[in-house]
Amino acid sequence: MVTDEEIASAAEVIRRGGLVAFPTETVYGLGANALDADAVAQIFELKGRPRFDPLIVHITRAEDLESLVEDVPAAARKLVAKFWPGPLSVVLPKRECVPDIVTAGLANVAVRCPAHPIARRLIELAGVPIAAPSANVFCAVSPTTAQHVRDQFAERLTHILDGGPCQVGVESTVVSFVDDVPTLLRPGGVTAEEIEQVIGTLRISEGDASQPASPGQLPKHYAPTTPLELSTDAPRPGLRVGLMTLGKPESVEGFAVIEVLSQRGSLREAAANLFAAMRRLDAMGLDYIVARPVPEEGLGHAIMDRLSRAAAK
Ligand code: AMP
Ligand code: MG
């Protein structure tokens, strides 16, 4: 799909301070040289992302974490040893070299080591850590294919590496080690249960957007333009309503269109299909979308987090 030459020329774009959209196992990222504040500023401009929403810095080797953060506590060390490369980001006190714009002025930086071979090769060839949020306009549905990225930015973004659909489909799990107790800031591709098996009980952040210690946990996010309701209600008569469910729905009466996220009811498969399904429904000119709640276990936490933010007023 993507040749090594294409990745090499994308890496050159990064080194020169430009932007590249690239696949990761979670969602497509919009990347820039994390150590170049001007390059990173372009990410915020292109996305229309507020400057108080910090980015995740992507590296290829766990050792590189040391060059970005002051100190790695034992619990963080254990966690990255277990889940890197993979959909886990750790938040730790940043070093000087990380520009303030990356962390939205916070003293802490989020770092992740992606598993996707194209992401890894891009970072390796660029020779610098890559700061990247999801490659979508601020608050919109995250992209899980290169076409989603093209649809968002059209000619405003020329460098897009097409690695096919993302395998995980929801963003990384973000765990902060800034306080004494490891804290879950965002549920994601690695489940809280999996993390707790390695480091014990996690504190679950309240996700208060007005609390400056954890920006990015905005109440409205991941949202289609069509109104979305998270409910078990029947569709209101006289309206064109879409239905999104985990498995086969009990009743489809009155719905104009149905998206089943996983025929066999797998939360993992549902996570991988979530954002693409949201986009398909969004493209149908519906009056509104009803998303059915999914069980809050495993990847269900991440799915429910995205759905409740998509549904937020
Ligand atoms: P995105 O890449 O669009 O999924 O956004 C990255 C998200 O990671 C942010 O919106 C935050 O939720 C989280 N994050 C990144 N850096 C930090 C940080 N320094 N402190 C707390 N959360 C962070
Ligand atoms: Mg995002």
Per-residue pLDDT tens for 172-198?
999 999 998 999 999 999 999 999 999
Q: What domains, with CATH codes, occur in the chain?
A: 4-204 (3.90.870.10), 228-311 (3.40.50.11030)
CB-ligand 1 contact for 217 (6 Å cutoff): yes
For range 274-286, the mean pLDDT: 98
Pair 273, 169: CB distance under 8 Å: yes
Which of 46, 56, 58 has most ligand 1 atoms within 8 Å of CB, for mutation? 56
- Categorize the per-residue pLDDT at 1 as very low, low, confident or very high, splitting at 50, 70 and 90: confident
Q: What is the pLDDT of residue 245?
A: 98
117 three-class SS = helix
| Ligand 1 in reach of 56 Cβ (< 6 A) | yes
pLDDT value, residue 82: 98
Taking the centre of ligand 2 as the mean of its atom positions, its distance from the CA of residue 29, in whole angstroms, is: 9
Residue 59 has pLDDT above 70, yes or no: yes
Which residues is 20 bridged to in the sheet? 31
Q: How far is the CA of 227 from the centre of ligand 1 (A)?
A: 25
Q: pLDDT tens digits for 237-266?
A: 999 999 999 999 989 999 999 999 999 999
Enclosing H/E stretch for 118 = helix 117-126
Q: What are the pLDDT digits (tens) for 73-84?
A: 999 999 999 999
Q: What six digits make up the tokens of 239? A: 């309206």
185 Cβ below 6 A of ligand 1: yes
- For residue 121, the CA-to-ligand 1 centroid distance in Å is 23
- Closest by alpha carbon to 182, among 75, 72, 298? 75
Residue 16: exposure state from Cβ atoms within 10 A (0-12, 13-18, ≥19): exposed
pLDDT digits (tens, 9 = 90+) for 112-157: 999 999 999 999 999 999 999 999 999 999 999 999 999 999 999 9
Whether ligand 1 lies within 6 angstroms of the CB of 54 is answered as: yes
Q: Residue 225 C-alpha to ligand 1 middle, in angstroms?
A: 23
CA of 30 to the centre of ligand 2 (A): 10
Expressed in angstroms and rounded, the spacing between residue 27 Cα and the centre of ligand 2 is: 9
Give the number of other CB atoms < 10 A from CB of residue 167: 18
pLDDT of the residue at 212: 45
From residue 282, alpha-carbon distances to 90, 264, 291, 294, 311 in Å are: 33, 24, 12, 20, 13
* Mean pLDDT in residue range 198-222: 73
DSSP H stretches of helix in 173-266: 192-199
Whether residue 170 has its Cβ less than 6 Å from ligand 1: no
- Give the three-class secondary structure for 91: strand
Angstrom distance (rounded) from CA 150 to CA 146 = 6
- According to the model, what pLDDT value does residue 207 have? 58
Pick the atom of ligand 1 nearest to 216's CA: 10
pLDDT value of position 225: 95
Q: Is the pLDDT of residue 208 over 60?
A: no
pLDDT above 60 for 227: yes
Is-contact 53 216, C-beta < 8 A? yes
216 Cβ below 6 A of ligand 1: yes
- Residues 108 and 57: beta-carbon distance below 8 Å: no
Encoding tokens for residue 25? 């196992």
**High-pLDDT (> 90) share of the chain, %:** 91
CA of 306 to the centre of ligand 2 (A): 10
Q: Minimum-distance ligand to the CA of 183?
A: 1
Burial 32-67 (b: 16+ CB within 10 A, else e): bbbbbbebbeebbebbebeeebbbbbbbbeeeebee
Q: Which residues lie below 8 Å from residue 206, measured CB to CB, with a gap of 6+?
A: none
Query: Is the pLDDT assigned to residue 213 strictly greater than 80?
Result: no
CA distance linking residue 298 with residue 191, whole number of Å: 5
Say yes or no: CB of residue 142 within 6 Å of ligand 1: no
Q: Residue 53: CB within 6 Å of ligand 1?
A: yes
Q: Is 5 exposed, middle or buried (0-12, 13-18, 19+ CB in 10 A)?
A: exposed
Pocket of ligand 1 contains residue 133 by CB under 6 Å: yes
Q: Using a 6 Å cutoff on CB, does residue 88 contact ligand 1?
A: no
Q: How far is CA 148 from CA 135, 140, 252, 275, 277, in A?
A: 9, 11, 28, 10, 12
Ligand 1 atom at minimal distance to the Cα of residue 217: 12
49: left (phi over 0), alpha (psi -120 to 50) or beta: beta
DSSP 8-state assignment for residue 304: H
SS (H, E, C) 54-85: CCEEECCCHHHHHHCECCCCHHHHHHHHHHCC
Confidence label for 214 from pLDDT (cuts 50, 70 and 90): low
- The answer to whether the CB of 100 is under 6 A from ligand 1 is no
